[in-house]
Structure 1
Amino acid sequence: MDGVINVFKNTGMTSFDVVRVIKKTLGEKKVGHTGTLDPEASGVLPICVGKATKIIDYIMDSDKVYEVEFKLGIKTTTYDLEGEIIEEKDPSSLINSEISKAIFSFEREYSQVPPMYSALKQNGVRLYELARQGIEVERQGRLISIYKIEDVEINNPYIKMKVTCSKGTYIRSLCFDIGEILGVGAAMTKLKRSKTSKFTEEEAINISDITLDNIKDYIISIDDALDNYEKLVVSNNFSKLLINGVKVFDKRLTKDKIEIGRLYRVYDENSKFIGLGKGDQKGFKIEKLLIN
């Protein structure tokens, strides 16, 4: 069984717990998730099964939508309520327009410093492992994009909002950074991922509802899971060369227009899915072969 299952993860379980449930239900060894959700977070967690594990990176490399709540006036070691409180301030003097201005100032590209309690590695060691030993190290900021912030509800000290962002964004860090600008600190209190790539909460199946009888109804084919990439049809005269790893530089390759540097879902003229391909000045080549 090869494909992707759009799973909704509940709070109180890890992303690997979800993978274990799918493995056990299907009796399948090759199963992987497409981007860790913290145990206390809920939301969309696409699970790749069988040959679909080859496209995990391509699903992860996509925009996300989160619904978050955070509390002003509190700082913790983890940037959420799971950590130890290290500072408290009274945010009651802040007016809504001031809070709103700080929130929307992050609707841009910025260098975000990840929290110490994260799975990122530094010198081969995960940051959370160092944090648990009481060790804090300097972290390099990572360029991320906050494309859109909407549905902001201010009920000081609690704030709710919806965030559309790039891959690699830590919402906990965003909440922390907003608290820093306001000078009172902030900690995330609730988090739900409502969308990642093409996968939405509305179309997901809750992990607690999955059974052997219904799981096959939720398997999405590999090429359908990648339909956020534009389709490209290549001539059958060249498809074999592409499958064999050859870079093709020939105007007869396709009737479609190819944009240099853009990734495409590639099909032959018989509608057979070949894989993901990309073109440059020297020709077009398959980047990830996915043909059955």
Structure 2
Amino acid sequence: MIIKKHKQEIDGLLLVDKPLGYSSNQALSKIKWFYNPKKVGHTGTLDPLATGLLPICLGEATKFSSYLFDADKTYEAKIKLGYTSSTGDAEGTLQSWNIENFPDKDIVEKALREFEGAIEQTPPMYSALKHEGKALYQYAREGIEIPRKKRTVSILSIKVIELKNDELHLEINCSKGTYIRTLAEDLGKKLMVGGYLIGLRRTKIGAHSIDNAVSLESIEESSEDDRIKLLKPIDHFLNEFESLALTKDEEASIKDGKVVYKEGATEGIYRLYNEDTRFIGLAEGDAAGNLKVKRLMSI
């Protein structure tokens, strides 16, 4: 007889270091098993061949997950030069460009400068992007090519960590929606040697670093009490926004959906705290100092 555990009221942010070979949903399933929360979701897919930072929101934190999803990301990417891949990564069929002499660091850095700023990318066929409710990679596996529109993304910075003959190691800081495997392919074409992605690690999302992440293994080995201690407060990942303290009357008005005037407020998003210094949600201010609720905690 299987006894179902009751779902737990658990709220917070968990920074997970996703291991190689796991899909983001497989990692999420592990967290569901460890914590048994009523609500849970991750904030940005990593391919099974990628490792690194995967923020997971539990409970009330799921209400604010879009702010992490929309944040800039930093990756370390390893690119193999001299070949192209049918999938853009190490899982595909390789085609050699028969290159004998590979570009030096100066040539690579000059090419990289052309990728900085706003660039256009065509989403790869081997991606989770949906077409008529079906992921593109599913069409690709059936040998079907779907026309894709180019999309504009932003490369905030891109630099060489190491270059060893035909292997290039880069650090890339970019906007959401950037396909690193497409960047690797486009760079290979620019260098006229071909290239495909052989390794990818996400090291940062917004202000959150992989240095503060925990492995699935360490979570599994922790006691229930210690697992709870691994969770970060919900407002922890919203600290890019200024904070405002509300009076009891202001708190009541905000919770009723009313517009509240707050001296010192201006245009922008604010973290709201009550008189007990408890985080209660986010509001958007206008130039006149009026606050309108965006998202509220239920607890």
Same fold (TM over 0.5): yes
What pairs up with 1:48-87 in 2 under 5 angstroms? 48-86=57-95
Instruction: Give 3-state SS (helix, strand or coil) of 1:37's partner.
Output: coil
Contact 1:91 1:157 in 2 (8 A): no
Matched, 1:169 2:178: yes
Partner of 2:295: 288
Letter in 1 for 2:273: Y
Contact 1:114 1:139 in 2 (8 A): yes
Q: Aligned-pair distance for 1:239?
A: 2.3
Pick closer, same or farther for the CA change 1:114–1:91 going to 2, 3 Å. farther
Distance 2:14 2:26 in 1: 15
Q: Aligned-pair distance for 1:206?
A: 0.8
Partner of 1:255: 263
Partner of 1:154: 163
1:204-229 CA-partner distances (Å, limit 9, x unpaired): 11111113513112111111232122
Q: Aligned-pair distance for 1:91?
A: 5.9
Letter in 1 for 2:240: N
Letter in 2 for 1:276: L
Matched, 1:35 2:40: no
Find the partner of 2:134 among 125, 134, 139: 125
Find the partner of 1:194 among 184, 190, 203: 203
Instruction: Give 3-state SS (helix, strand or coil) of 2:27's partner.
Output: helix
Distance 2:246 2:99 in 1: 63
Partner of 1:218: 230
Distance 2:286 2:136 in 1: 37
Partner of 1:2: 11
Contact 2:53 2:213 in 1 (8 A): yes
Structure 1 length normalisation: TM-score?
A: 0.91
1:135-173 CA-partner distances (Å, limit 9, x unpaired): 112211222111112343222211001111111111111
Q: Aligned-pair distance for 1:43?
A: 0.3
Instruction: Give 3-state SS (helix, strand or coil) of 2:282's partner.
Output: strand
Partner of 2:6: none
Contact 1:234 1:255 in 2 (8 A): no
Instruction: Give 3-state SS (helix, strand or coil) of 1:266's partner.
Output: strand
1:154-208 CA-partner distances (Å, limit 9, x unpaired): 2221100111111111111111111121222210111111111232111111111
Matched, 1:277 2:286: no
87-96 or 32-41, which moves further after superposition? 87-96
Letter in 1 for 2:191: L
Residue identity (%) = 38
Q: Aligned-pair distance for 1:57?
A: 1.4
Partner of 2:273: 267
Contact 1:75 1:86 in 2 (8 A): yes
What pairs up with 1:17-36 in 2 under 5 angstroms? 17-36=26-45
Distance 1:87 1:134 in 2: 22
Contact 2:266 2:287 in 1 (8 A): no
133-142 or 31-40, which moves further after superposition? 133-142
Distance 1:172 1:195 in 2: 18
Q: Aligned-pair distance for 1:10?
A: 0.7
Structure 2 length normalisation: TM-score?
A: 0.89
Distance 1:140 1:165 in 2: 20
Instruction: Give 3-state SS (helix, strand or coil) of 1:143's partner.
Output: strand
Pick closer, same or farther for the CA change 1:243–1:109 going to 2, 3 Å. same
Q: Aligned-pair distance for 1:41?
A: 0.8
Q: How many residues align?
A: 286
222-231 or 53-62, which moves further after superposition? 222-231
Contact 2:262 2:291 in 1 (8 A): no
Q: Aligned-pair distance for 1:277?
A: 1.6
Contact 2:274 2:280 in 1 (8 A): yes
Contact 2:97 2:193 in 1 (8 A): yes
Matched, 1:97 2:109: no
The answer for unaligned runs of 5 or more in structure 2 is 1-9
Contact 2:79 2:167 in 1 (8 A): yes
Partner of 1:230: 242
C-alpha RMSD of the superposition: 1.9
Q: Aligned-pair distance for 1:240?
A: 1.8
